[in-house]
Chains A and B, each alone.
Chain A
Amino acid sequence: GDSVTQMEGPVTLSEEAFLTINCTYTATGYPSLFWYVQYPGEGLQLLLKATKADDKGSNKGFEATYRKETTSFHLEKGSVQVSDSAVYFCALSDRDYKLSFGAGTTVTVRA
């Protein structure tokens, strides 16, 4: 079945550091890929998405490129802020009715 594997955390960074969170997937078809973010005590917010190979999703300084050849969708941000501290989830939707999520990566940014 469909599955998502993402980099284990926690990740601790200083402000203005570069952030990468690795995500790889397994799917039978051609899934759409998502990154969601969960701030403390809140639900999930859609951060970005990509629907086909080589698409780049971007939002709030975050980027991720859909790489079919490596089945990956790594999340990057060039200069993180304290406000980026959250749990980040990689997810896929394989043209069906559900999202399949990774286990989440906790990111803490220190001033």
Chain B
Amino acid sequence: ETGVTQSPTHLIKTRGQQVTLRCSSQSGHNTVSWYQQALGQGPQFIFQYYREEENGRGNFPPRFSGLQFPNYSSELNVNALELDDSALYLCASSFWAGEETQYFGPGTRLLVL
């Protein structure tokens, strides 16, 4: 069974640029959630995708957007990057949207200069 994978592992961008992060869900899972983990803090929920539709969103501005594809992989897009967007971005998958247990990938560490 393949776990959750994310790419890239590290990324450096400059303020104002746009970034796309990718996630492949665990085999058999159709739901993907994205979290932002700032240094020294707990993860904060960004949004969730279930069967290619957004299924809930946290307190993040619209410049954070996402997609889910028919194979249940997902992308997180962030436009107009700000310095405070520097963080570890975690993707988590679950068997379905009503399943509370989520399995996390290794994360993508984004640095905005």
Question: A residues engaging B (CB < 8 A)?
Answer: 4, 32, 34, 36, 42-46, 49, 51, 89, 91, 93, 95-104
Contacts and interface: CB of A to CB of B under 8 A. Distances in A.
B41 interface: yes
B42 A46 contact: no
A32 B100 contact: yes
Nearest to A45: B104
Interface in B57-113: 58, 90, 92, 97, 100-107
Nearest to B100: A93
A100 B100 CA distance: 11
B93 to A, nearest CB: 12
A49 B103 CA distance: 13
Interface residues of B, number: 26
A89 B102 CA distance: 14
Nearest to B41: A103
A43 B90 contact: yes
Contacts of B35: 99
A87 B102 CA distance: 18
B55 interface: yes
Nearest 3 CB-CB pairs, A to B?
A101-B42, A97-B56, A98-B45
A42 B102 CA distance: 16
Interface in B26-53: 33, 35, 40-45, 48, 50
B91 to A, nearest CB: 8
B105 A98 contact: no
A43 B105 contact: yes
Contact of A104 (B42, B50, B100): B42
